[in-house]
Chain A
Amino acid sequence: MTATGIGAPVRRKEDLRFITGKGQYTDDISRPGETRAVFVRSPHAHARIRQIDTQAAAAMPGVVAVLTGADLAGDKIGNLICGWMIHSTDGSPMKMAPHPALADGKVNHVGDAVAVVIAETLAQGRDAAEKVAVEYEVLPAVVDPGKAQAKDAPLIHEMAPNNTIYHWAIGDQSAADAAFRAAAHVTRIDLVNNRLVPHAMEPRAAIADYDAGTEALTLWNTSQNPHVARLVISAFVGIAPEHKLRVIAPDVGGGFGSKIFIYPEEVVCLWAARRVRRPVKWNSDRSEAFVTDAHGRDHITHAEIAFDANAKITGLRVRTIANLGAYMSTFSSAVPTYLYATLLSGQYQIPVIHCTVDAVYTNTVPVDAYRGAGRPEATFVIERLMEVAAREQGLDPIELRRRNFVQSFPYQTAVASLYDAGDYDASVRKALEAADIKGFGQRKRDAERRGKLRGIGYSNYIEACGIAPSAVVGSLGAGVGLWESAEVRVNPTGSVEVLTGTHAHGQGHETTFAQLVSERLGIPFENVSIVHGDTDKVQFGMGTYGSRSGAVGMSAIVKALDKVEAKAKKIAAHVMEAAEGDIVFKDGKFTVAGTDKSVDFAGLALQAYIAHKFPTSEIEPGLKETSFYDPTNFTFPAGCHICEVEIDPETGQTDIVAWTAVDDFGTVINPMIVEGQVHGGVAQGVGQALLEGAVYDADGQLVSGSLMDYSLPRAEHLPPIKVDTTMTKCPSNPLGIKGCGEAGAIAAPPAVINAITDAIGSEDIAMPATPAAVWKALQKASAMRRAAE
């Protein structure tokens, strides 16, 4: 390992600009003559728009234009779409209701955009937006996903009877039913996977600029996948042809999924910029983010697991209702299906599984992928089941897991996933040691003496990253392929630029990708630059989500580097007058085997560009190669997280006193960055378990609509986090990478809840386990104990 190569904890290239305030986030960019967009939003969850009067607003100082859904329709701007087709069990396609960027006659959630004011300044825009008079006929709202399919529930979209988007299933129902009939023990649980608001710290933003001379539009936006944004905005929304639309996602301040999607605001900015012939800028404030950024999770689930007399799992049945909100967001349909049910086997051998999912509309903000996307929900189901089942059968929870682990690979699960590699017990062994499980009994007794309840909880998660190959995801309904592209440009002086179709918004690609190139070409780390996030620079790419950038994005770079090396060897053979087969490339040098003749990488690069010493009829001048890489399978990171809590029974306050994470991510490029990803993922998972919950009232008002009401994890909520890894290489990509971005958020919630339920001796606790919820659970449990006595 070199100091900056694969496996080294290299300090990040991107940090200098961020620690000095020189980052360039979308809101930091300003275009000459720019106007500001302010949206008029529905205060009602469900209402018909009787009329919109824009006259008074249009007459306000500084107002350039006031536009409504009628103007949008008049200009034939298309609807936003969901790009993943799911079919119901009866073969019918999902019911994708129209989603115009500005409401067309009816609003379907609080925050739905009704009109936009374009003004000279933000203050003038806000003043004018208040003067837009919208007359509503308020309709009854559907808020609870559990009641959305009721016969008497109000209908949100005419084309979706019973508010049902799809009724989907996977697995063998009759085999599962048979397994349950023959079971020696069955554990049943009802779970709610609480609704979350992602909250990247940078709110979403967009600036659109129209060049009337070239009839081309440029959009700067907070996107995790600028090429996909351009494709959707061009091909489906129809704003401009793809070659007349440039999308730039500059520095982006966190995404966690919420910036994958194509939202109404960027569409409206583009459309308005062309109408008013001036740049249009929109910047969400946090209150607006609460009612416009796609939310996450929001499942209601009943799950049952069957065991034989030896506590070996014989079957699993799961029924889930998934709330997708008022409209189908860009990838919403895939989250509770192929990103969820295909992981329900966890780390275990489960011969039969059957899962049904009802996706429903409600009058709430659309729900889509949020860090983990479906996999946290699946892990919560299986890891809560395992813990409860162990307690019911009087077994140690680790012993029950070990008895059922998948031991040999590849392993075909009962829900389509083919696990390629892993060693689950290795992570468990390391985690038990690091968490000092042997000392837990003593720590629990010490806590008791202080009047505290101490508990320990396990989570043996598995996830699927780098979703691929494209033909497979296509057969599952994806509207796109999930390969990745890379272009390696070698400059005549031997420095290298790599253009990647992935996008970094905190992950440190500028560092880790450069580590790969530096090691592979034997050139200094400083001589490598990574370029991303601009459709005029990078030809095409699928962006960053689902922990795909290492496994898929770096694999594309490897393939392009292979081509660079192959061509460079040909040139080296001519330069050194040797046979191509005798050229060896090692440590940045091309050598003729068995001689002292050599040329270094920079020297060879110069030869490639001056083209004096090789026949250009056979070998083209220059050194630049491109690769589009499609992996052969998903990757399957897995691990063991252990959470230790202490609860004050007087207040219900839960303190996480220790956290141990041992993960198998395959090859690790930069352990410092990987640890940081685990820390952040765990924090978001702890947030879900203890603090966060988007709460709607019965009328569809978001009660937890500000950071005063929605509790994000702060430094004091979290303990120091012990992170370690084990390693089985992923066989599905050339570097053996599995991906690490989502692991913490997937592993953490069941670890926390398993620890709390262990401490309080009751399984009756929902997320977020606030002090009030824990205190109530304690009171209920003691009342039941008293009644039993």
Chain B
Amino acid sequence: MVSVSMTVNGKAVSADVDPRTLLVQYLREHLRLTGTHVGCDTSQCGACVIHLDGQAVKSCTTFAWQAEGANVTTIEGLADPNGPLHPMQEAFRENHGLQCGYCTPGMIMSAVDMVYRKGHELDDQTIRHELDGNICRCTGYHNIVKAIAAGARAMKDSAPALKAAE
């Protein structure tokens, strides 16, 4: 067993885990944060994307111990549970950017990271290229692309606050 401690969604957590424990297993099974999903076993689908120290990371390909001391944000912590939704979450709902919802948490976490890296004016081509690591089987991506473009613009006003919150 190894001991791990980190901050998840603003809360300090620690545990003794089997060294094989993946970060996604730690989040889902130990912390019961089941919003982060596992859709594949080859790091292709992106359903497991979370933010590790403010950057998008596939939590299925990260050991829990690799997040030692890190600041982790999952879909559950993207917005204050008592406040409004994150603009990207709202954009996915408004633009019908989800159907079965399984890939959605990873899509939203990747989308927010995309805005951090690429800014608030994202064209169709950029969004599609940047989404290479996230697979959706339901939507044909059409409305996900629309949602991300809209969410990126909506994040403009609240950008510093959102980033600082992580």
Contacts and interface: CB of A to CB of B under 8 A. Distances in A.
Please say whether chains A and B are actual partners in one complex: yes
Interface of A: 11-12, 14-25, 27-28, 30, 121, 123, 199-203, 251-254, 256, 285-287, 505-508, 672-673, 675-676, 679-684, 706-708, 712-716, 718, 720-721, 744
A106 B143 CA distance: 47
Contacts of A28: 28, 34
B108 to A, nearest CB: 7
A681 B89 CA distance: 24
Contact of A714 (B131, B139, B143): B131
B13 interface: no
Interface string B19-54: 010000000110011111111111011010000000
Contacts of B135: 201, 707, 712, 714
Q: Is chain A's interface secondary structure helix, strand, loop, or mixed overall?
A: loop
Contacts of B90: 19
B131 A707 contact: no
A335 B127 CA distance: 38
A14 B101 CA distance: 9
A256 B140 CA distance: 14
Given A21-B33, A715-B128, A707 B44 contact: yes
A718 B142 contact: yes
B132 A714 contact: yes
Given A201-B47, A718-B141, A506 B100 contact: yes
A15 B79 CA distance: 15
Given A286-B40, A286-B41, A20 B79 contact: yes
Q: Which of A18, A27, A256 has the most CB of B within 10 A?
A: A18
B101 A251 contact: yes
B6 interface: no
A528 B104 CA distance: 25
Contacts of A12: 93, 96
B142 A18 contact: no
Nearest to B103: A201
A672 B98 CA distance: 11
A347 to B, nearest CB: 24
A21 B75 contact: yes
Given A201-B100, A254-B100, A20 B45 contact: no
Contact of A286 (B33, B39, B98): B39
B132 A721 contact: no
B75 A20 contact: yes
A274 to B, nearest CB: 25
Contacts of B18: 121, 123
Interface in B96-134: 96, 98-105, 108, 124, 127-129, 131-132, 134
A15 B135 CA distance: 19
A711 B135 CA distance: 11
B138 interface: yes
User: Interface extent on B, as a size class?
Assistant: 35 or more
Nearest to A29: B34
B42 A680 contact: no
Given A19-B93, A19-B108, A286-B40, A716 B99 contact: no
Given A201-B103, A708-B44, A673 B96 contact: yes
A220 B103 CA distance: 21
B115 to A, nearest CB: 16
Interface in B73-100: 74-76, 79, 85, 89-90, 92-94, 96, 98-100
A20 B34 CA distance: 11
B44 to A, nearest CB: 4
Contacts of A720: 124, 142, 145
A715 B132 contact: yes
B72 interface: no
Contacts of A200: 100, 102, 137
Contacts of A285: 38, 40-41
B144 interface: yes
B93 A11 contact: yes
Contacts of B28: 28
A15 B137 contact: no
A28 B75 CA distance: 14
Contacts of A20: 35, 75-76, 79, 85, 89
Interface string B138-165: 1111111100000000000000000000
Contacts of B57: none
A201 B45 contact: yes
Contact of B137 (A22, A712, A716): A712
Query: Shortest 8 CB-CB distances between A and B: which pairs?
Result: A21-B35, A18-B101, A253-B102, A683-B140, A506-B100, A679-B140, A506-B99, A21-B75
Contacts of A680: 99, 137-140
Given A22-B35, A680-B138, A707-B40, A253 B101 contact: yes
B136 interface: yes
B102 A25 contact: yes
A720 B40 CA distance: 26
Contacts of A27: 34, 38
B93 A718 contact: no
A287 B47 contact: no
A15 B108 CA distance: 13
Contacts of B144: 715
B101 A287 contact: no
A255 to B, nearest CB: 8
Contact of B104 (A18, A679, A684): A18
Given A28-B34, A707-B44, A16 B93 contact: yes
B128 to A, nearest CB: 4
A683 B33 CA distance: 31
A686 to B, nearest CB: 8
Nearest to B77: A21
Nearest to B124: A720
Given A23-B35, A714-B131, A684 B137 contact: yes
A715 B127 contact: yes
Contacts of A30: 29, 32
8 contacts: A12-B96, A19-B105, A20-B75, A200-B100, A253-B103, A286-B39, A683-B141, A714-B132
A123 B93 contact: no
Contacts of A21: 33-36, 74-76, 105
A24 B101 CA distance: 10
A707 B137 CA distance: 13
Contacts of B105: 18-19, 21
Contacts of B32: 30
Nearest to A121: B18
Nearest to B131: A715
B98 A19 contact: yes
A409 B77 CA distance: 56
